[in-house]
A = this chain, B = another copy of it.
Amino acid sequence: MWRVILKDGMKGATVRNIAKEAGLSLGSLRHYFKSQEELLLFSMELVKERATERIQNIALKNLPPKEMISKMLLEIVPTNETTKAEMEVWLEFVLYFQNKQGVKIDDGVFQGFKKLMDILKQGNFLKKEVNIDLETERLYALVDGLAIHAILQPERMTKERIEHVLALHLDEICKGDCPQQF
């Protein structure tokens, strides 16, 4: 399904196309997913699980706070084909379900950003004049903006450029004695 969406967008994500891409018959696919919506939601959940798993693996490494956060953000902003595909598929999904009644999507990413900022604060890594709430919102928006641009304008938005912008931003909200990570 991800491959189909990456190639033809949500418009091409028909049950038949997905079955064909998976090498299954229509009836076979239907045996596992009773409806198209069920299939879409499963596929969407899988994207979330994968990204969550990668980020949690980073959390387990017990890195210095700022380095940990840098690495985490680089798992959200697409810097390789895998994460780029995930983000594009995710965006298609969110927009698709945005206009469907009865399905409410909350990825919980904002809560995650609040946690990250709290870690920086607890470790006394933040400049003391920063407004935590607003800075959380700003970082979140910056990351998602970079992610969108990485998908839609990949020729300009190289991995290095993304890293530079993120490093610039983190340096701005963190104290000067923080170790560089990029």
**A interface residues (Cβ-Cβ under 8 A, vs B):** 6-12, 91-92, 94-96, 98-100, 110, 131, 134-135, 137-138, 140-146, 148-149, 151-153, 156, 161, 164-165, 168-169, 172
Contacts and interface: CB of A to CB of B under 8 A. Distances in A.
Contacts of A145: 140-146, 148
Given A9-B99, A135-B168, 6 more contacts: A110-B153, A137-B161, A141-B141, A142-B142, A142-B145, A144-B148
A35 B23 CA distance: 33
Task: Decide if the interface of chain A is mainly helix, strand, loop or mixed.
Answer: helix
Nearest to A149: B141
B169 A138 contact: yes
Contact of A146 (B10, B12, B94, B141): B141
Nearest to A99: B9
List of 3 A-B pairs having minimum Cβ-Cβ separation, nearest first? A145-B145, A141-B145, A9-B99
A138 B165 contact: yes
Given A142-B141, A146-B145, A168 B131 contact: yes
Q: Which of A95, A149, A151, A172 has the most CB of B within 10 A?
A: A95
Contacts of A164: 134
A138 B168 contact: yes
Nearest to A157: B137
Given A168-B131, A172-B172, A9 B98 contact: yes
Contact of A165 (B91, B141, B146, B172): B141
Contact of A99 (B12, B99, B172): B12
Contact of A142 (B98, B99, B138): B138
A17 to B, nearest CB: 12
